[in-house]
Amino acid sequence: MKISKQLCIIISMILAMILFDISIFNIVTKRYIDNRSSEMKNRSIEVSEYLPFTEKSGICHIDTDVKLSGDLPVIDGAAALYPMFSAFVDATYPKDSVSFDGTDFTTDSSLQFRNTRGAYQAVVDGSADIIFCAQPSEEQLAYASENGVELTLVPIGYEAFVFIVGKDNPVENLTIEQVQGLYTGKYTNWSEVGGDNRLVDAVQRNIGSGSQTTMLSFMNGQKMKRSFFGALTGRAIGFSFRYYVTGLNGNSDVKMLALDGVYPSEENIANGTYPLADSFYAVYNSSNTNPNIPILIDFILSEEGQAIVKQSGYTPLVSN
């Protein structure tokens, strides 16, 4: 009888440990497992799926009489804009100007992808001629200034900065003040902003990324912080650019929130009612004398170029 009791206690302890491990996995560990490919994890995008001059590429294809030759500008940019500027290359560059080794663009390729931080450094250092990004951060502007470089920023389209939550989060709309409060710690429970009784996990992005720079501007000097317990068991809120959520990294498990009662639809971005729609830019060194830079910029601002902007999932400067 005594042995049976001991066995029951041991078995109960083992079962309890198994249940505890399962609970920890479902509540904590599972939330942080990244099932994306290694390329997506490293680059924030499947670069190989949006190459120019490839029939099955995910980019749009536009036929144009504008064809660049001679000193071809090296172009680079942000992950969210990569399919668009790859399409610019597809439309106007010679096919042999791009070289991809299966993992990355080779050093002699006119198309590069270093994402926002690397692209801003490249345009200052001279290894890129035109980059496509959101507005530069203070650090990126300081880096340009320290190196004696003045940057020219040409608006080429509009994109929305959006806030995302899990699809099972009952919240559909937040005010700007509420979003800022979730990130400063003013609101620590979703019930304080119309949600259920769950802690808030206010997720941020990497310093220097386009979305983190935009978020810092949105916070207008207010310090952001993340709750330790919220990160373990809370409902998350994050931020990104609209096309990255709906196109490049589409995820049926998340949804975009309306802001001040306005949903970030293409129509609301175009008509200016969504409050966080802003320009993205073609950026180059003002002293760069490459004659193809103004030709490419003119093409991008033309009806054909703006069609690429629209077909790539963004809002053009003017309706086509």
Q: What is the pLDDT of residues 220-260, one digit of tens each?
A: 999 999 989 899 999 999 999 888 788 655 677 899 999 99
Mean residue pLDDT across the chain: 87
Measured CA to CA, the distance from residue 214 to residue 9 in angstroms comes to 56
Q: What is the pLDDT of residues 48-90, one digit of tens each?
A: 999 999 988 999 999 999 999 999 999 999 988 999 999 999 9
Whether 122 and 64 map to the same domain: the answer is: yes
| Relative orientation angle of helices 292-301 and 303-311, to the nearest 10 degrees | 70
Whether 301 and 229 map to the same domain: the answer is: no
Whether 256 and 174 map to the same domain: the answer is: yes
User: Among residues 270, 292, 308, which one ends one of the domains?
Assistant: 270
Does any domain span residue 89?
Answer: yes
The residue ranges of the chain whose pLDDT is under 50 are: 18-43, 320
Does any domain span residue 43?
Answer: no
Specify the CATH number for the domain of residue 204. 3.40.190.10
Model pTM score: 0.72
Does any domain span residue 21?
Answer: no
- Give the per-residue pLDDT at 40: 34
Does any domain span residue 113?
Answer: yes
Whether 176 and 258 map to the same domain: the answer is: yes
Does any domain span residue 5?
Answer: no
DSSP assignment string, 49-112:
GG-TT-TT-SS-----S----SSPPPEEE-GGGHHHHHHHHHHHS-GGG--B-SSSB-TT-SB-
In percent, the amount of the chain with pLDDT more than 70 equals: 84
Whether 284 and 262 map to the same domain: the answer is: no
- Give the per-residue pLDDT at 29: 38
Whether 77 and 66 map to the same domain: the answer is: yes
- Give the per-residue pLDDT at 35: 40
Whether 201 and 261 map to the same domain: the answer is: yes
- Give the per-residue pLDDT at 46: 86
Does any domain span residue 258?
Answer: yes
Q: Number of folded domains in the chain?
A: 2
> CB of 256 within 8 A of CB of 245?
yes
Domain hosting 194: range is: 160-270
